[in-house]
Amino acid sequence: MEGLFLPLLLMLVVAVPLIMGTRKQKRAMQQQQELQSSLNDGDRVMTTSGMYATVADASDETTIDLEIAEGVVTTWLRQAVREKIEPVVESDVDDESEDGDAAELTAADATESDSETDSERSKEGAQVAPPLEHGKK
Q: Looking at the domain assignment, is residue 109 inside a domain?
A: no
- To the question of pTM greater than 0.75 for the whole model, the response is no
Q: Looking at the domain assignment, is residue 59 inside a domain?
A: yes
What HEC string does the chain produce? CHHHHHHHHHHHHHHHHHHHHHHHHHHHHHHHHHHHHCCCCCCEEEECCCCEEEEEECCCCCEEEEEEECCEEEEEEHHHEEEEECCCCCCCCCCCCCCHHHHHHHHHHCCHHHHHHHHHHHHHCCCCCCCCCCCCC
Q: pLDDT, tens digit, for every residue of 79-109? A: 999 999 887 666 655 554 444 444 444 444 4
What is the domain-level CATH number for residue 68?
2.30.30
Q: Looking at the domain assignment, is residue 124 inside a domain?
A: no
Q: Which of 97-101, 114-118, 123-127 has the highest mean pLDDT?
A: 123-127
Q: How many domains does the chain have?
A: 1
Q: Residue range 53-79: average pLDDT? A: 92
Per the model's pLDDT, the better-predicted residue between 119 and 30 turns out to be 30
